[in-house]
């Protein structure tokens, strides 16, 4: 297989991921509408901790648990943001905003893990790796 063959496979996976993420967001929007109709809070910290735990436990690698938790935390945050927008809000619930470029959301006082509500998040800078030579680019 060539680099271009592998890149084509990655492109296909990226399209599938995007489709799945949007399907998930549509379900989160439906749940947000149901919760609003029932007068329930949008954020369910117990459910979110269970989602993060389940993702870490189901992870076969090569991504480590920290990476999986960071990815799923962002998915949860963006799902809540989509639901808030769909319900007529311009902004997500307090403390639930997606990180600005170059930043990641991390639970306060817990490093990058801990499964605490997004309202307890702080902002941490992301280290950017040095540029790679063209021949080194695999993705």
Chain mean pLDDT for the chain: 77
The first and second tokens of residue 40, run together, are: 């329930």
Mean pLDDT computed over 83-92: 78
The first and second tokens of residue 85, run together, are: 């927008």
d(CA 123, CA 102): 10
pLDDT band at 112 (very low <50, low <70, confident <90, very high): very low
Mean pLDDT computed over 79-96: 74
Nearest by Cα to 44 from 121, 123, 118 = 118
CB under 8 Å to 94, separation ≥6 — which residues? 119
pLDDT band at 29 (very low <50, low <70, confident <90, very high): very high
Contact, 25 vs 82, CB < 8 A?
A: yes
The pTM for the full model equals 0.64
Most confident of 42-56, 95-109, 118-132: 42-56
Mean pLDDT computed over 111-134: 43
Q: Which fold has domain 8-95?
A: Chorismate Mutase Domain, subunit A (1.20.59)
């Amino acid at each position: 297989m060539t680099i271009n063959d592998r890149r084509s496979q990655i492109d296909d996976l990226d399209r599938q991921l995007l489709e799945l993420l949007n399907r998930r967001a549509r379900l989160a929007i439906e749940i947000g509408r149901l919760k609003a109709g029932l007068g329930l809070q949008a954020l369910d910290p117990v459910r979110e901790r269970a989602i993060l735990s389940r993702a870490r436990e189901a992870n076969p690698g090569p991504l480590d648990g920290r990476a999986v938790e960071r990815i799923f935390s962002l998915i949860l945050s963006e799902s809540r943001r989509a639901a808030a927008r769909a319900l007529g809000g311009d902004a997500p619930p307090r403390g639930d905003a997606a990180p600005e470029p170059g930043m990641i959301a991390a639970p306060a006082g817990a490093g990058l893990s801990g499964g605490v509500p997004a309202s307890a998040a702080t902002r941490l800078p992301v280290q950017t790796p040095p540029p790679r030579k063209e021949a080194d680019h695999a993705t």
